[in-house]
Amino acid sequence: MAFYCYMVLCANGGYYTGWTTDPIRRLKQHNAGVGARYTRMNGPCELSYVEEVADHIAALKREFEIKRLPHLKKVALCADETRNILASLMELNNSAEE
């Protein structure tokens, strides 16, 4: 099973960071008002960053690291194509739906 750390960009311009085994499903949950209070109050959200990690413990540690970053570093992380696997994840998701 794969684990991911992710960031969603909320309507207020802030980032919410979390971890999941399915980033697409989790985004849908955030936008449906299920889960985090921050995204319920500041949605709708758009997936901005996805990083695959080794296991559940690594996901928790990475989530904590990302949450401690200042906003501009989070923006830079989202733009870092060497770490952000969002584009390839979306391609896989689109091809699976066809």
CATH number for the domain including 49?
3.40.1440
pLDDT tens across 3-17, in order?
A: 999 999 999 999 999
Q: pLDDT at residue 88 above 70?
A: yes
Among 20, 30, 15, CA closest to 74: 15
pLDDT tens across 71-87, in order?
A: 999 999 999 988 888 88
Domain count, the chain: 1
d(CA 52, CA 3): 6
pLDDT tens across 26-70, in order?
A: 999 999 988 788 898 888 999 999 999 999 999 999 999 999 999
Among 50, 49, 31, CA closest to 41: 31
CA dihedral 48, 51, 52, 57 (to 10 degrees): -110
Expressed as residue numbers, the domain containing 60 is 3-97
